[in-house]
Amino acid sequence: MSELPKGWSQATVAEIADVRLGKMLDAVKNKGAPVPYLRNINVRWGSFDLSDVLEMRMTADEQDAYSIKDGDVIVCEGGEPGRAAVWRAGQTKLKFQKALHRARICAEVVPEFLALHMRHAAASGELERKFTGTTIKHLPLAVFRDLPIPLAPHPEQRRIVAKIDSLSAKSRRARDHLDHIPRLVEKYKQAILAAAFLQAGNEKELSRLDDVIASTFYGPRFAKDAYSSDGVVTLRTTDFDDDGNIRLKSPPSVRISQAEFAKWGLVDGDLLVTRTGSIGKCAIYAETVGPALPSAYLIRVRLRLDRVRPRYVLLFLLSRSGQEQLGLGITAVTQPNINARVIERLKLPIPDLKSQDRAIRKIETAFAWIERLASEATSARKLIDQLDQAVLAKAFRGELVPQDPNDEPASVLLERIRQERQGSAAKGQKSKKRQGKA
């Protein structure tokens, strides 16, 4: 920070906290009683996840050295270096592993102020410039100790932390509401499909899908030496999105003859159904994808285009009724799969082509509206993250809360901390000398 707010002072983490790196995990060398310990996976931004806590052996002295108490700031050394949270859950048996730093803050500094600065430094990119390692990033002890922190007067620290806590609570509630949107989207889509096919079913009795199927086959298996970077694309289930569209994700290619492609190649409108693994996941092949073959895990269904629209059948298969009928065809427990017979026996309303076209338009119009809402929710989610970062930036510019000219400047606070720590260090040295003489 080039210019500090009035009354603030530049410090380092080592000046305001006693910092310690966690205990090395070594099943052979570690001695003592088993104790629970924190890993970097347990430390989230501003909170702790204790759902998966492991144990390691520590002696009594080590248990004291690697203890955790209220107000300790726990900071990730690896994983997502710098990620930090303040322990506020009272007395605990938890210790901490070498993947973490413990910053035990001086009495006149608010621990949450340091944790918030770590988050601000991470969001701004300032922290990343301090990391070591090329592929796996780390925040070494020496680097963390020397990390600069703009220190506000103590009362202002409290005001900043309280304000951010209040704003963060509101943003968390907003995130919780927005996180429900994807589930609601799926429910609304299923309701739209159910209504559309119920209406279509009133116009004509249910029919079996094999009434409108021209042919089916299973995707071919190719020998390993048939695969080639310049061959024909082989579609897989992973190339299907949840709405039945094909989104290529680096599918393999095979080199085949023209005769083989004439036999196995897909044509516009072919319905593809996953027969094992992600059972029931479907898509419609469009010629805009380019020349393609189905993989061995797919069933290709070629429909009679004079009787049915492929998109209409796909939408039915995406409905709860279609998925349930496909699920009833599971033929194994350990490796579930379906076959072409299951698909042929599917029952669905098959009205005339004009009625199918109307149903498709209604469904896709409603889907487009829902997708717009979902997209807006996603954008709002990103804006909340940006807002949180903006709040932190404003806080460390000294602009988030009012400044009080009566607050003791941080420089005075820092000087007092230095003197107190020097006094404590001197007392410690005298104590050691007395113990040595004894």
Mean pLDDT to the nearest integer, 189-217: 86
pLDDT digits (tens, 9 = 90+) for 90-135: 999 999 999 999 999 998 899 999 999 999 999 999 999 999 988 8
Domains of the chain: 9-151+408-437 (3.90.220.20), 205-350 (3.90.220.20)
pLDDT digits (tens, 9 = 90+) for 246-271: 999 888 898 888 998 999 999 999 99
CA dihedral 101, 105, 110, 116 (to 10 degrees): -20
Q: What is the pLDDT of residue 1?
A: 45
Mean pLDDT to the nearest integer, 237-241: 93
pLDDT digits (tens, 9 = 90+) for 14-62: 999 999 999 999 888 899 999 999 999 999 999 999 999 999 999 999 9
Distance CA 299, CA 296 (A): 8
Higher pLDDT, 76 or 205: 76
Bridge partners of 73, per DSSP, are 86, 103
Q: Is the pTM of this model over 0.75?
A: no
pLDDT at residue 229 greater than cutoff 50: yes
Q: What is the pLDDT of residue 255?
A: 87
pLDDT at residue 337 greater than cutoff 50: yes
Q: What is the pLDDT of residue 433?
A: 56
Tell me which residue of 77, 96, 95 sits closest to 142, measured CA to CA.
77
Q: What is the pLDDT of residue 201?
A: 62
Q: What is the pLDDT of residue 421?
A: 82
Q: Are strands 95-96 and 33-38 parallel, antiparallel or unpaired?
A: parallel
Question: Where residue 322 falls among pLDDT bands split at 50, 70, 90?
Answer: very high
Tell me which residue of 322, 312, 372, 371 sits closest to 345, measured CA to CA.
322
**In Å, how far are 19, 82, 128, 136 from 132, measured between CA atoms?**
18, 12, 9, 8
Q: What is the mean pLDDT of the chain?
A: 90
Q: What is the pLDDT of residue 428?
A: 57
